[in-house]
Amino acid sequence: MYSTITCAHSANINWLNGDDHDFKMDSAVDVWQISITSNILAVNDFLELLGADERTRANRYYQQKDRERFIISRGALRILLAKYLKTPAADIVFEIGVNKKPFVKNTNGTELHYNTSHSGDYILIAIAELPVGVDVENMEPLFPYQDILEHSFNPDEMAYINQSGTPLETFYTLWTRKEALLKATAKGIDDAMRLVPCIDGEHIVGSSIIQSNKNWFVNSFDIDTNYTGSIATLTMNIKFRTFAPMI
């Protein structure tokens, strides 16, 4: 069996005000952008929403910035999921599924999928009725991306990156596409990563490569000049939203 993967770049993203959303589950995929800096003063409020296991995980982080990022990420996730599910944020119950992909146990019959990613100052949370995967990366200027090209990219992709006028940005764009798709299908990152297509256009791949026989759309987008992200979905109906700071 085969799957079709269509990769593209979404330019000029219009990040909608999250406060204006009705939080109804429909055919659209919602991609939420959360700034850690903008929410750092509310870190204790986010912490109050977490379960005992999440607090334990937070306390395992040695660096304060890593602990705060985890707390804000989990707290924001709970807040968003609670609004879609019309339930208290603290009552959300998470479980681990295939290939350690988490899901919400108590959806009360609502079909809901989510995925999260974080890098630097940004957290992305994607929520939809169908499987979804998201990835964000801080484009580090000195990152030695050449060292992992051969392991993670096929010859055409390596040439595409090396011949680009902005090879570092192109690397990160293609990398986030692969990550988002593998997270969406719960395939996980492994030695097959170089077989996952990521160049603009339509690609046909064996279903076993991505562990899915569905047709996927993978859209990359810029958050700002230093951050890029990608979303893998089963629909082209994507809405980009900004999480309003708690205080």
Question: For every one of its 247 residues, what pLDDT tens digit does the chain have, with 9 covering 90 and above?
Answer: 889 999 999 988 999 998 888 898 888 899 999 999 999 999 999 999 999 999 999 999 999 999 999 999 999 999 999 999 999 999 999 988 777 778 898 888 788 999 999 999 999 999 999 999 999 999 999 999 999 999 999 999 999 999 999 999 999 999 999 999 999 998 776 667 899 999 999 999 998 888 888 999 999 999 999 999 999 999 999 999 999 875 4
- How many domains does the chain fold into? 1
Q: Provide the domain limits for residue 177.
A: 2-242
3-state secondary structure of 24: coil
247 part of a folded domain: no
Judge whether 38 lies within some domain: yes
Token pair recorded at residue 99: 């290939």
Cα–Cα dist 163/68, whole Å: 39
Q: At residue 216, what is the residue type?
A: W
> Are 24 and 220 a contacting pair, CB within 8 Å?
no
Can you read off the two tokens belonging to residue 113? 């999928």
Residue 29, in any domain of the structure: yes
- Rounded CA-CA distance 167/141 in Å is 11
What does the pLDDT read at residue 60? 95
Q: What global pTM score does this model have? A: 0.94
Instruction: Tell me what pLDDT residue 246 has.
Output: 59
pLDDT score recorded for residue 228: 97
Tell me, what CATH number does 135's domain have? 3.90.470.20
Give the type of residue at 48.
E
Residue with the two structure tokens 């570092």? 168
